[in-house]
Chains A and B, each alone.
Chain A
């Protein structure tokens, strides 16, 4: 079972529907987490949402508690949240992407996806990861073709994955393939 933790977002249920193509999905708000469901889950997904990772200390606790024990996936705010918990700084960006379709590129040969491959994806983010960023086993694997902003990380050892863009958006082409691949990794 996949447990999606919602951060009061208006895109979370698109995420739920996307993951539900592959497995049973449960979804609760971050402040109404069910201990039973979280124990049962094989994968925990941190949803998109408004604000900054530091606004959600409960989510940080969940991340730290299950890191290395379950597969963890972050989307948008969730992506930022995982990096924040790994010591990354999340900052405002000059150019903001809300409802924007952009080309992103696989830039790392440790990725599950072929290096050099380009994806068309939907983006909704005010904030970004400040770089350089370094944390054990974490690799930035995709970047925006134009701005070079980090768009995905992969940590194969501890099975932690994150996308800054929205694989569930109608603006993302082949989003289901992206999710299928990290779920089967």
Chain B
């Protein structure tokens, strides 16, 4: 049986499944024997639990941590916000794994939707922007990311959306979850944790520029290098991620393996670095997650104070946005991304969140538009 038929068949059968980008294609996980809904009480025992490694390719838990859960895990409170009671985190134990190619070949375009509405208009955005700029001047934060949300009523087929998204934008951390009462489609480009044995790395993105006819990869690199604002923003994230890794890594082992390179995506170029280290002995996965999450590049810096500023500002729950999706293998290895560029479908509503950074020399108009640019690739799927 052809593999893409298998995917379509699993999809048609209605059983929950997850697709996650692998190096050569995608991995599909299904036949879930356990589903663990996480909350503040059970997350620590979930992460500390030892599962016996049976040398199977399904010896893992795969799923996501939402933003609020990750805040609470490091002792940061989120005040009461508008939310639609989406779970704070869910992990699944698959019993079946299938390798898929990059071409998902699912050609059944089908959806119903209204028009997307943004939760913060330009005027309000500017107000928040100016308030945060003052906080930067007084030294309370050095960089902070304002989140805007686009929402619409919808009924979509997640596999249709994911396969169309992947055909135009093959992101290295793309994933899709289809469960009975919700689905997530994401073309996340950002890896937060890759842990194999004692090695760990993180690959933050800071810096985005729109692709045009005249702007190729080399020119984009030049643009970033010459742009002092983008450079400073990126530097800050590099030092912050070095810091987060230093919490859990051996002294002298944290290295900047790739410094400020450009990666190309459908509508934009990103400015990226790779930082790696060797874990201290006896470090538990719970400690790694607490040190690294929520991922700094999508929050701002310094992390704790900036999270508090954001949480007091935002009226709506971020749900999955800036949380992390990935897996924990029974041998302790992990891979997690940062959930950005994603659509959450729940209770017949599709929700897309985006954010861009305020540093001392950013411009409100430019950042507001950058947010839209980031959302556009996803909103276009509804056309």
B133–chain A nearest beta-carbon distance, Å: 10
User: Please, which residue of chain B has its CB at the minimum distance from the CB of A94?
Assistant: B137
Question: A50 touching B141 by the CB < 8 A rule?
Answer: yes
Task: Give how many A-B residue pairs fall within 8 Å (CB-CB).
Answer: 102
Interchain CA distance A50-B301 in the complex, whole Å = 9
- The interface residues of chain B lying within 8 Å CB-to-CB of A20 are 251-252
Question: B139 touching A99 by the CB < 8 A rule?
Answer: no
User: Please, which residue of chain B has its CB at the minimum distance from the CB of A172?
Assistant: B239
A87–chain B nearest beta-carbon distance, Å: 20
Is B310 on the interface with A (CB-CB < 8 A)? no
Question: A170 touching B142 by the CB < 8 A rule?
Answer: no
Is B94 on the interface with A (CB-CB < 8 A)? no
Give the secondary structure class of A's interface: mixed
Is B72 on the interface with A (CB-CB < 8 A)? no
- The interface residues of chain B lying within 8 Å CB-to-CB of A51 are 138-140, 305
Question: B305 touching A14 by the CB < 8 A rule?
Answer: no
Is A127 on the interface with B (CB-CB < 8 A)? yes
Pick out which of these stretches binds chain B: A4-12, A64-72, A154-162. Answer: A4-12
A49, A52, A100, A166: the one within 8 Å of B232 (CB) = A100
User: Please, which residue of chain A has its CB at the minimum distance from the CB of B305?
Assistant: A50
Question: A169 touching B239 by the CB < 8 A rule?
Answer: yes
Of residues 32 through 58 on chain A, the ones whose CB sits less than 8 Å from some CB of chain B are 49-52
Question: A21 touching B252 by the CB < 8 A rule?
Answer: yes
Question: A170 touching B139 by the CB < 8 A rule?
Answer: no
Is A109 on the interface with B (CB-CB < 8 A)? no
CB within 8 Å for A98 and B252 given contacts A51-B140, A127-B139 = no
Question: B251 touching A21 by the CB < 8 A rule?
Answer: yes
Question: A124 touching B142 by the CB < 8 A rule?
Answer: yes
Interchain CA distance A72-B34 in the complex, whole Å = 54
B235, B254, B303: the one within 8 Å of A17 (CB) = B254
A49, A100, A126: the one within 8 Å of B136 (CB) = A126
- The interface residues of chain B lying within 8 Å CB-to-CB of A21 are 251-252
A7–chain B nearest beta-carbon distance, Å: 9
Interchain CA distance A152-B233 in the complex, whole Å = 24
B309–chain A nearest beta-carbon distance, Å: 9
Of residues 73 through 92 on chain A, the ones whose CB sits less than 8 Å from some CB of chain B are 77, 92
Of residues 219 through 248 on chain B, the ones whose CB sits less than 8 Å from some CB of chain A are 228, 231-236, 238-240, 242-244, 246-247
Q: Which residues of A contact B (CB under 8 A)?
A: 8-14, 16-17, 20-21, 49-52, 77, 92, 96, 98-101, 122, 124-127, 166, 169-171
